[in-house]
Amino acid sequence: MASDNHEEARGLFQRALESQTQGRLIEAETLYLRILSLIPNRLSVLSNLSSVLLQQKKYEEAAQYIDKVLELDPDDELAWLNKSIYQFHGQKLEASLSSCDRALTIKPDWADALSNRGLILKALHRNEEALKSCNRALALEENHVEALSNRGLLLFELGRHTEALESFERALAIRPGAPEALHNRGDVLHALGRDTDALQSYKAALESGGDREDLIYYLAALGAGAPPPVSPPHYVRALFDRYADRFDEDLAALQYHAPQLLFAAVSEGIPPRSLDIADLGCGTGLCGVEFRTLARTLTGVDMSQGMLERARKRGVYDSLIQGEITAFLHTRRASFDLLISADVFIYVGDLEAIFEGAHMALRPDGQFAFSVETHEGAGFVLQPSRRYAHALSYLRECAARHHFVEHRVQPIALRHEFGRLIAGMIVVLSLASD
């Protein structure tokens, strides 16, 4: 019986390898699991299965097989690299770096691990070290596509756009249809002001199987297609997780004063510590600092864990909740006297669900105060900046439909950006009495 199992397993293993090599990952996963049911703890099968699961972004499932490999062979360098990958995607960055370094201790001149190390260091904002790691990988394998792409991302982050473009072009010369490289090339071209070329790169990335939700959003921002109602949630979450550590400093450099202007528009005549307030899209807590004096209780809500960690350090919130603001509002019926939101609706085009949720979450005579970017037309538009702008007429229509009355509208300059002022407004609405 054991010999029959081994014979069947050998045949299945060849089929699984072929499926894995040809990108038929679900098929490969099924075959590897079948082999393990015949011969448990076969190292090569556990290792290949974990790689297939990582490729499918099934990180938690992959983790159990990676840890099993390391139980059987603590010096398996691929298992350490795979462990680093799943830790990275679980936002355990220091642990991910440690696992990657363990892989490199076992196999020092390994371009795959050095390239991956560069990506981890980038996430830790250690960009110069990250660039050195990618350059070392390329010194070992000059045509390493992932290292070229990671190097391009780092150069882009460092503002070295022309060099970043050259890295992505090199990667695409080696692997012409690589969707991530096409996507990243589009980002660099957009940053260089070459939007026609960026449009073509994004279209090619979409045709090559790139991230459909993000790419449709980017194309719409450049005028190719109808804008989605909101920015992709994972795009917004990743954007703010990435910038959390330097968010306040960057906004200060842009002369951003929306929280202070919002406070001035709302606070007149309100006694201290008299309101239950929710800060929608609280970010690092800049609004919380301003509004704490008015708050009996202050609740912050944001999708980005990185932002919430910064907000928590300010010590001004009574509670902080990670989540999407519309879902939050729909679970807090008549819970607040004031809802505030500064520069959040630039990532939401269609505001109907938010206005509906705000009505539900406010008590009678409660107020809803927010800032937006504006435009002169009707409705809302998705701009090349990938931010939404709203017409005042659209905001008034939403307010009327959801029983708000206009208390104040104040045109403002939201911030300086690329040498120009970004036009916006502060809007304060009151919930109409029934």
Q: What's the pLDDT score for residue 4?
A: 59
Q: Where are the alpha helices (DSSP H) in 267-362?
A: 286-291, 305-314, 325-330, 352-361
Instruction: Give me the residues paired with residue 411 across strands.
Output: 425
Q: What are the distances in angstroms from CA 366 to CA 107, 392, 433?
A: 62, 21, 10
Structure tokens at 354: 């938010």
Compute CA distances 218 → 94, 158, 213, 392, whole Å: 32, 22, 9, 25
CA atoms of 278 and 362, how far apart (whole Å): 10
371 beta partners: 426
CA dihedral 39, 44, 47, 48 (to 10 degrees): -90
Cα distance between residue 324 and residue 384, in whole Å? 24
On whether the CB atoms of residues 247 and 283 are closer than 8 A, the answer is yes
Task: Using only the alpha carbons of the chain, give its radius of gyration.
Answer: 25
Domains and their CATH numbers in the chain: 2-227 (1.25.40.10), 237-431 (3.40.50.150)
Beta strand segments in 244-333, E: 275-280, 295-302, 319-322
C-alpha neighbours within 13 Å on the C-beta side of residue 333: 0
Round to whole Å and give the CA distance between 130 and 108: 16
| pLDDT less than 70: residues of the chain | 1-5, 243-255, 416-419, 434
Structural contact between residues 99 and 81, judged by C-beta atoms closer than 8 angstroms: yes
Beta strand segments in 183-294, E:
275-280
Burial of 267 (0-12, 13-18, 19+ CB in 10 A): middle
pLDDT for res 247: 56
| Distance in angstroms (rounded) separating the CA atoms of residues 369 and 372 | 10
Q: Which uninterrupted H or E stretch holds 206?
A: helix 195-207
| Model pLDDT, residue 233 | 86
Beta-bridge mates of residue 321: 301
3-state secondary structure of 125: coil
What is the per-residue pLDDT across 318-352, written as a single tens digit (0 to 9) for each?
A: 999 999 999 999 999 999 999 999 999 999 999 99
Using an 8 Å Cβ cutoff, are 377 and 348 in contact?
no
Q: What are the φ and ψ backbone dihedral angles of 409, each rounded to 5 degrees?
A: -130, 125
Question: What pLDDT, in 10s, does the model give residues 354-385?
Answer: 999 999 999 999 999 999 999 988 999 999 99
Structural tokens at position 44: 């090569």
Q: Is the pTM of this model over 0.85?
A: no
3-state secondary structure of 321: strand
Spell out the residues 6+ positions from residue 92 whose beta carbon is closer than 8 angstroms to its own: none
Looking up tokens 């910038």, which residue turns up?
A: 243
pLDDT of 1: 37
